[in-house]
């Protein structure tokens, strides 16, 4: 089977062709970064207009790279939420049009479930293990920070999430205060590589009775307050400050994830979402976890449509499909 994946939940217009084994035939991500960077964040109306402009070209390019035509597609899988409604609509309406014109099945997918399936794409060893379940999955992106117990394919239980900001959001705001554009994560990582992570201790909160819950709003405020009050350090120790802030985020994520893995006696840990591209997080978790840690290939850490295509196939295989009434959702639970 050849599955066309369409992902437009945020600011990337992403299209991919994947087969039923999770082999990626082509993967196109048309970044809108240049259109948003002067605004310090994503402007929803610009995002939807650009999706509308770019999506046709992205599909043509994806087919060309794979050497396929529209008629070769067996299933269309599209992100239905959570995300920006104006952006999601462009992807979903395009998917419906293709499904209608080709008379091929259509399926709407939760973006976060898509991120989980980035672990099963192509090369990573997880796709080769017969029964890797149960797994603890840390979903960590610009909009979400969740710990999910994955008991089997398509079977999830959210055991913890952030009470306020997502980890990526805290990093992005911290970077923005330093004058960097969106996304801030890769820039903080780059600055922090040569820095001393012990330079400054930022607050690391834990919640009594809620061991798997996160909060990044206090850390974000403490980070920005530190930058405001210490201009000399910002000038002379920027690398150290970035490393210290990054380390705090990584330590918080690692501590909760390992605790969940031990408590739920899982066979492994998966880390997905944009922040899973972070080298310090990858290294710390891999070193400290008592079970094997599975990570997506870096290209599939950040938003892409290959993960949406594979998750769509898993649902379709179980007999599910949507019709032309498929809607979009700004908020959507994974359970």
CB of 131 to Zn ion, least distance (A): 27
Tokens of 45: 């109306």
Applying CB under 5 A, which of residues 11, 113, 146, 303 lies at the interface with Zn ion?
303
* 134 touches ligand KG4 (CB under 6 A): no
Cα–Cα distance between 168 and 118 in angstroms, integer? Answer: 18
Residue 168 binding partner per list ligand KG4, Zn ion, none, with a CB distance cut-off of 5 to 8 Å that depends on partner kind: ligand KG4
Q: Is 296 helix (H, G, I), strand (E, B) or coil?
A: coil
Residue 184 binding partner per list Zn ion, ligand KG4, none, with a CB distance cut-off of 5 to 8 Å that depends on partner kind: ligand KG4
Which letter, b or e, does each residue of 237-254 get, where b requires 16 or more Cβ atoms within 10 Å of its Cβ? Answer: bebbbbbbbbbbbbbbbb
* 185 touches ligand KG4 (CB under 6 A): yes
37, 330 in Cβ contact below 8 A?
no
Tokens of 122: 């192509």
Applying CB under 6 A, which of residues 184, 195, 268, 312 lies at the interface with ligand KG4?
184
CB of 35 to ligand KG4, least distance (A): 16
- Would you say 247 or 316 has its CB closer to ligand KG4? 247
Subset of residues 138 to 167 that bind ligand KG4, contact rule: CB under 6 A: 141-143
- Would you say 73 or 281 has its CB closer to ligand KG4? 281
* 191 touches ligand KG4 (CB under 6 A): no
Region of 145 on the Ramachandran plot (φ > 0 left; ψ -120 to 50 alpha; else beta) = beta
**Token match 């400050």: residue?**
241
47, 91 in Cβ contact below 8 A?
no
φ, ψ of residue 81 to 5 degrees: the values are 155, 170
Cα–Cα distance between 313 and 215 in angstroms, integer? Answer: 34
- Would you say 177 or 316 has its CB closer to ligand KG4? 177
List beta partners, residue 240.
none
Cα–Cα distance between 295 and 273 in angstroms, integer? Answer: 10
Taken as a whole, the chain contains a residue count of 335
* 10 touches ligand KG4 (CB under 6 A): yes
**CB contact set of 64 (below 8 Å; sequence gap of 6+):** none
Cα–Cα distance between 305 and 295 in angstroms, integer? Answer: 17
* 41 touches ligand KG4 (CB under 6 A): no
* 141 touches Zn ion (CB under 5 A): yes
Cα–Cα distance between 253 and 6 in angstroms, integer? Answer: 29
* 192 touches ligand KG4 (CB under 6 A): no
Residue 172 binding partner per list Zn ion, ligand KG4, none, with a CB distance cut-off of 5 to 8 Å that depends on partner kind: ligand KG4
* 7 touches ligand KG4 (CB under 6 A): no
- Would you say 108 or 168 has its CB closer to ligand KG4? 168
- Would you say 179 or 319 has its CB closer to ligand KG4? 179
Q: Give 8-20 as a DSSP string.
A: -SSSEEEEEEEET
CB of 141 to ligand KG4, least distance (A): 3
- How many residues of this chain bind ligand KG4 (CB under 6 A)? 19
Subset of residues 247 to 286 that bind ligand KG4, contact rule: CB under 6 A: 273-275, 277-278
What residues line the site for Zn ion (CB under 5 A)? 141, 303
What residues line the site for ligand KG4 (CB under 6 A)? 10, 141-143, 168, 171-172, 183-186, 189, 273-275, 277-278, 302-303
């Amino acid at each position: 089977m050849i599955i066309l994946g369409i992902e437009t939940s945020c600011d990337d217009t992403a299209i991919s062709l994947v087969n039923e084994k999770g082999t990626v035939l082509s993967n196109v991500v048309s970044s809108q970064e240049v259109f948003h960077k002067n605004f310090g964040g994503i402007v929803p109306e610009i995002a939807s207009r650009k999706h509308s402009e770019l999506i046709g070209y992205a599909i043509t390019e994806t087919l060309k790279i794979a050497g396929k035509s529209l008629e070769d597609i067996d299933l269309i899988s599209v992100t239905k939420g959570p995300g920006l409604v104006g952006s999601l609509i462009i992807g979903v309406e395009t998917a419906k049009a293709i499904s209608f014109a080709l008379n091929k099945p259509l399926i709407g997918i939760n973006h976060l479930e898509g991120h989980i399936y980035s672990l099963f794409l192509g090369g990573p060893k997880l796709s080769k293990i017969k029964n890797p379940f149960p797994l603890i999955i840390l979903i960590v992106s610009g909009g979400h920070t969740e710990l999910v117990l994955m008991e089997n394919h398509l079977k999830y239980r959210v055991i913890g999430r952030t009470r306020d900001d997502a980890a990526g959001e805290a990093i992005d705001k911290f970077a923005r205060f330093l004058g960097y554009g969106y996304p801030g994560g890769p820039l903080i990582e780059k600055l922090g590589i040569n820095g001393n992570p012990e330079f400054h201790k930022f607050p690391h909160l834990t919640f009594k009775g809620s061991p798997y819950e996160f909060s990044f709003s206090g850390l974000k405020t403490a980070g920005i307050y530190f930058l405001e009050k210490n201009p000399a350090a910002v000038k002379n120790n920027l690398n150290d400050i970035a490393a210290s802030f990054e380390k705090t985020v990584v330590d918080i994520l690692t501590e909760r994830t390992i605790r969940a893995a031990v408590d739920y006696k899982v066979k492994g840990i998966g880390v997905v979402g944009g922040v899973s591209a972070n080298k310090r997080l990858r290294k710390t978790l891999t070193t400290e976890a008592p079970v094997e840690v599975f990570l997506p290939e870096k290209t599939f850490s950040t938003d892409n449509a290959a993960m949406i295509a594979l998750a769509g196939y898993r649902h379709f295989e179980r007999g599910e499909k949507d019709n032309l009434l498929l809607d979009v959702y700004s908020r959507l639970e994974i359970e």
